[in-house]
Amino acid sequence: MPTVTIDNVRVEVPAGTTILDAAKQAGVKVPTLCYLKDVQAIGACRVCLVEVQGARTLVASCVTPVADGMVVHTNTKRARGARRTVVELLLSDHQGDCQTCERNDDCELQALARDLGINDITYVGAKSTRYVDDSTPALIRDTGKCVLCRRCVTVCGEVQGVGGIFPQNRGFATVVGPAFDLNLHDIVCVQCGQCAAVCPVGAITERDHIQDVWEALDDPTKTVVVQTAPAIRAALGECFGYPPGTLVTGKMVSALRRIGFDAVFDTNFAADLTILEEGTELLTRLKNALVDGKPVALPMFTSCSPGWIKFIEYFYPDMLANVSTCKSPQQMFGAIAKTYYAEKIGKKPEDMIVVSVMPCTAKKFEAQRPEMNASGVQDVDYVLTTRELGRMIKQAGIDFDRLPDDTMDSPIGMSSGAADIFANTGGVMEAALRTVYEIVTGKPFPFEDLHVKPIAGLEGIKEAAVTIEETTPEWAFLKGVTVRTAVAHGLGNARQLIERVREGLSTYHFIEIMTCPGGCIGGGGQPRFTTNETRLARIQAIYKEDEGKTLRKSHENPEIKHIYEEFLGKPNSKKSHELLHTHYHERAKV
Amino acid sequence: MNDKACGCTCAEEASEEELLARLDDVIADYKDKPGALIPVLQMAQAIFGYLPESALKKISLGLGKPYSEVAGVVGFYSFFSTQPRGKHMVRVCLGTACYVRGGKNVLEALKDKLGVDVGGTTEDRQFSLEVARCFGACGLAPAIMIDDQVYQRVKPTRVQAILDQYRNAEAAAR
Q: List, for residues A421-432, the tens digit of each pLDDT value.
A: 999 999 999 999
pLDDT at A540: 97
Cis amide linkage into residue A529, ω under 30° from 0: yes
Interface mutation target, options A133, A158, A180, chain B, most CBs of B under 10 Å: A180
Please judge whether A168 and B72 are an interchain contact, meaning their C-beta atoms are less than 8 angstroms apart: yes
Q: Flag whether residue A511 sits within 8 Å of chain B, measured between CB atoms.
A: no
Residues of B in contact with A499 (CB under 8 A): none
> What is the domain partition of chain A in residue ranges?
3-91, 128-207, 219-269+330-402, 273-327+415-524+545-580
pLDDT at B102: 95
- What's the rounded mean pLDDT across residues A288-301? 92
Nearest to A378 by CA among A347, A357, A356, A349: A349
Please judge whether A166 and B66 are an interchain contact, meaning their C-beta atoms are less than 8 angstroms apart: yes
Pure H helices in A14-71:
19-25
Q: Flag whether residue A502 sits within 8 Å of chain B, measured between CB atoms.
A: no
Please judge whether A590 and B61 are an interchain contact, meaning their C-beta atoms are less than 8 angstroms apart: yes
Give the nearest partner residue to B68 out of A166, A170, A589, using CB atoms. A166
Name the pairing type of β-strands A482-489 and A510-514. Answer: parallel
CATH topology of domain A128-207: Alpha-Beta Plaits (3.30.70)
Q: Are A308 and A494 in contact (CB under 8 A)?
A: yes
Beta strands in A151-280 (DSSP E): 166-168, 175-177, 204-206, 223-228, 263-266
Q: Flag whether residue A317 sits within 8 Å of chain B, measured between CB atoms.
A: no
Percent of chain A with pLDDT over 90: 95
Residues 36-65 of B with CB under 8 A from A: 56-57, 60-61, 65
Beta strands in A223-370 (DSSP E): 223-228, 263-266, 300-301, 352-358
Q: What is the spatial distance between Cα B98 and Cα A182, in angstroms, rounded to a whole number? A: 39
Residues of A in contact with B60 (CB under 8 A): 590
Q: What is the spatial distance between Cα A255 and Cα A405, in angstroms, rounded to a whole number? A: 9
Give the active site residues of A: 278, 281, 304, 324, 363, 366, 371, 520
Q: What is the largest CA-CA distance in chain A?
A: 81
pLDDT at B11: 46
Q: Flag whether residue B72 sits within 8 Å of chain A, measured between CB atoms.
A: yes
Domains A128-207 and A273-327+415-524+545-580 share a fold: no
Q: Flag whether residue A180 sits within 8 Å of chain B, measured between CB atoms.
A: yes
Please judge whether A590 and B76 are an interchain contact, meaning their C-beta atoms are less than 8 angstroms apart: no
Residue A243 Rama label (left phi>0; alpha psi -120 to 50; beta): beta
* Nearest chain A residue (CA) to B60: A590
Q: Is the pLDDT of residue A80 over 90?
A: yes
* Nearest chain A residue (CA) to B65: A163
Specify which of A119-128, A269-278, A468-477 reaches the highest per-range mean pLDDT: A269-278
Q: Which residues of chain B have pLDDT under 50?
A: 1-11
Residues of A in contact with B66 (CB under 8 A): 157, 162-164, 166, 188
Give the nearest partner residue to B69 out of A163, A169, A180, using CB atoms. A163
Confidence of residue A58 (pLDDT cuts 50, 70, 90): very high
Residues of B in contact with A590 (CB under 8 A): 57, 60-61, 67
Q: What is the spatial distance between Cα A253 and Cα A251, in angstroms, rounded to a whole number? A: 5
Q: Is the pLDDT of residue A166 over 60?
A: yes
Give the ipTM.
Answer: 0.92
* Nearest chain A residue (CA) to B56: A590
Three-state DSSP class for residue A168? strand
CATH topology of domain A3-91: Ubiquitin-like (UB roll) (3.10.20)
Residues of A in contact with B67 (CB under 8 A): 163, 178-179, 187-188, 590
Q: Does domain A273-327+415-524+545-580 have CATH number 3.30.930.10?
A: no
Please judge whether A164 and B70 are an interchain contact, meaning their C-beta atoms are less than 8 angstroms apart: no
3-state secondary structure A463-519: EEEEECCCCCHHHHHHCCCEEEEEEEECHHHHHHHHHHHHCCCCCCCEEEEECCCCC
What does pLDDT average to over chain A? 96
- What's the rounded mean pLDDT across residues A103-113? 95
Please judge whether B68 and A170 are an interchain contact, meaning their C-beta atoms are less than 8 angstroms apart: no
Number of H helices, E strands in chain A: 19, 18
Give A433→chain B minimum CA distance, Å: 36
A219-269+330-402: CATH architecture: 3-Layer(aba) Sandwich (3.40)
pLDDT tens for A484-506 read 999 999 999 999 999 999 999 88
pLDDT at B12: 53
In this structure, what are the phi and psi dihedrals at residue A385, rounded to the nearest 5 degrees?
-80, 170
Confidence of residue A337 (pLDDT cuts 50, 70, 90): very high
Please judge whether B68 and A163 are an interchain contact, meaning their C-beta atoms are less than 8 angstroms apart: yes
pLDDT at A199: 97
pLDDT tens for A200-223 read 999 999 999 999 999 999 999 999
pLDDT at A96: 78
Give the nearest partner residue to A168 out of B65, B66, B75, using CB atoms. B75
CATH superfamily assigned to domain B88-173: Glutaredoxin (3.40.30.10)
Could you count the other beta carbons within 10 Å of the beta carbon of residue A159?
A: 20
Q: Flag whether residue B149 sits within 8 Å of chain A, measured between CB atoms.
A: no
Please judge whether A167 and B72 are an interchain contact, meaning their C-beta atoms are less than 8 angstroms apart: yes
Q: What is the spatial distance between Cα A475 and Cα A477, in angstroms, rounded to a whole number? A: 5
> What is the domain partition of chain B in residue ranges?
3-76, 88-173
